[in-house]
Structure 1
Amino acid sequence: MEALETISTRALSELEKGARGKVIKITATGELRRRLLDMGVVPGTEVAVAGAAPLGDPIEVKVKGYHLSLRKKEAAAILVEHLK
C-alpha cells in the first residue's frame, strides 16, 4: 500500500519570502472574494511571495506573471498548498 503525501495547507500570509504555493481555497466572501478572483487568484493557481513591506504589511505576491500587493488580512483568506 502506498503512503499518501500529506498536503501542507496554510494561509498565504504565513508563507515566507521566496516560498511558493498553489491556491487551494479562498475563504473570503463578498467583495473581497470577487476582487481576488478577478485578479487571477483562483484555485489551482501558483503564487510566490516576492516580499513584504518593512513592518510586514502588505505583502507582495507574484501571480500569473504580475506582482500583487495584499494586506495580511486579505492573504490570510487564501489557503495554499506549500510547494517545495
Structure 2
Amino acid sequence: VTLSRGVFAGARVLALNPALADSLGGNPFASGVIVAGVERGGYAQRTGLRGGDIILLLNGRQVTAVDQLAAVPPGAEVTIERRGQRLTGVVR
C-alpha cells in the first residue's frame, strides 16, 4: 500500500507478520509496519523515512496495521527501528 496523505505520504508500507519478518532476517515475533520503499519527492522522503524502516510506535501506541498510518498529521511522535536501532522523533 502506498500512503497518499499525512506525514507518511509516498511511503509504500506492509504490515509486518512472522513470515515477512523471518524472510527479511528479522525477529519473527516483531510487530509493526515495514517501509518497503519511499517515493522521491514525497512527504515521507522529506521526513527521512527509508526503505527497511519498521514503524513501531505512533504517539506512544503500538503500530500493528497499515491503516493506523493513513493520515498522520505533522507533530506526531514516531518510533522506528532502523538496522536494529530504535529511533524516536517528532515528524514535522
Q: Normalized against structure 2, the TM-score is what?
A: 0.38
Which structure has more strand as a fraction of its residues? 1
Q: Normalized against structure 1, the TM-score is what?
A: 0.41
Which of the pair has the greater relative contact order for Cα pairs under 8 Å at 6+ separation?
Answer: 1
Return the index of the structure with the highest Cα Rg: 1
